[in-house]
Structure 1
């Protein structure tokens, strides 16, 4: 496997479709701008805690170049049976199988859990989009919802959100116009205001970004909000979505 000192050098020798960044926060800006300069049009930034000023510059340069950014702090993208980019276990059939459900998640671990619950309930996924848990993102919940709404292989959408910010509320305005069923789970609803919970973007201030506001906005938009991830499959069935995946038992640790 050839190794290069920069993406620009690699692009001179190969056709590059995407760049996946596994770099420390202080090096994310240089790595991202290198990929954008090389003409990469899909950027997956897994790094957490990238300085806000650096993120804003990356997104501005990406927008000017026509580059789509997933992240920062994303777990990646999975199209079961076709593509796995990032750190999600796209190869695990007890978590991902081809199917009609589009999954959007700010959290990699919660996204994995919900995807596994879907397979256990008999629902495969058309795509998993990990948008990331940082406050400033290249792809928002609204962006991902619009993408899956336009996708012919997606018949229903599952939104895995969490407290902090207003992305779920902003997406709710669009969800109200959708004909595809939308099921949502919001994590952190019992968190005390002003305390960060896990992700940099998961903080409630002044009532903004609270679990209650997200649940209210999504419910008023016609989405079904479940209290636990294991209820997602039942909610999809109630919405008339047909199961398509071969049900699989979740992987268990330990010996028999």
Structure 2
């Protein structure tokens, strides 16, 4: 993981509506955006940032780039991500929602082959409070500190960050892993990253009903993670019996012994209970739980 104030950032889709809105906000936060890419828009700076037609042209002009943030339309995401990977950019954040699943599969195959970290799609991105903003997080909700925040939800990430900030519990980093069907980086991957991060002392994991991500994360926490973890689950009020996962998750859960009710709030709560991870009933409880687990360290 290389997300610092010195990181050099590229914006793909800088002239798209979201790109044009959030690029100046990221820049105002102190993020070093060194170039943008907009096919057909090369040579037309945006917010004093040079814009190029191709990623390769941007790198030849500005040099090494650490991370690309992608705002292009859904059916252009695969080409944009593969172009960034081919240009040796090893951290990619896909903000775009609704990327075709097979396109994401192709991106992930190439990312795995090249050891590229991909976040998203359909995510708010990453914020390292006080250092850099990569995406659409509202930075005023965040405070530099020692709590790492990993979430499937966008807006819940902001709400929980604000609860932590109001309680004086700053954050080392906040990651929205995304809400589309095919996601790139997982809870487990980020749990391991934060486990090894010297700036993080405790972890807050924000999950949702549907799929087996939280059950798998709970097992991983029990087996691998030493730092204290607090969880919150969204979706308690969803209609009973309305399954929101997918066939692969059902089969995998039964093979792994996770239970036939995989994806339900109860299944996830029981998984975290087995892993001895405290689960908040509502976001406002999270700061007290974090303080409690930190006292026990």
TM range (shorter): 0.7 to 0.9
> Does structure 1 residue 216 correspond to structure 2 residue 216?
no
TM-score (normalizing by structure 1): 0.86
SS in 2 for 1:152: coil
Deviation readout 1:201-244 (Å, 9 max, x if unpaired): 8xx977321111111101110110011000001111222349xx
Q: Using the alignment, how far apart are the partners of 1:240 and 1:19 within structure 2?
A: 34
What does residue 170 of structure 1 align with?
Answer: 216
Deviation readout 1:121-140 (Å, 9 max, x if unpaired): 11000110111112221110
What does residue 285 of structure 2 align with?
Answer: 231
Q: Using the alignment, how far apart are the partners of 1:6 and 1:207 within structure 2?
A: 47
> Does structure 1 residue 189 correspond to structure 2 residue 236?
yes
Unaligned runs of 5+ in 1: 243-256
Q: Which has the higher contact order (CA 8 A, sep 6+)?
A: 1
What does residue 57 of structure 2 align with?
Answer: 9
Unaligned runs of 5+ in 2: 1-48, 251-259
SS in 1 for 2:61: coil
RMSD: 1.9
What does residue 136 of structure 2 align with?
Answer: 87
Work out which of the residue numbers 165, 168, 171 in structure 2 matches 1:122.
168
Q: Using the alignment, how far apart are the partners of 1:46 and 1:194 within structure 2?
A: 28
Question: Which structure is higher in helix share?
Answer: 2
Q: Using the alignment, how far apart are the partners of 1:8 and 1:212 within structure 2?
A: 49
Q: Using the alignment, how far apart are the partners of 1:16 and 1:84 within structure 2?
A: 15
Quote how far apart the aligned CAs of 1:195 are. 6.3
Q: Using the alignment, how far apart are the partners of 2:190 and 2:177 within structure 1?
A: 8
TM-score (normalizing by structure 2): 0.75
Size of the alignment, in residue pairs? 234
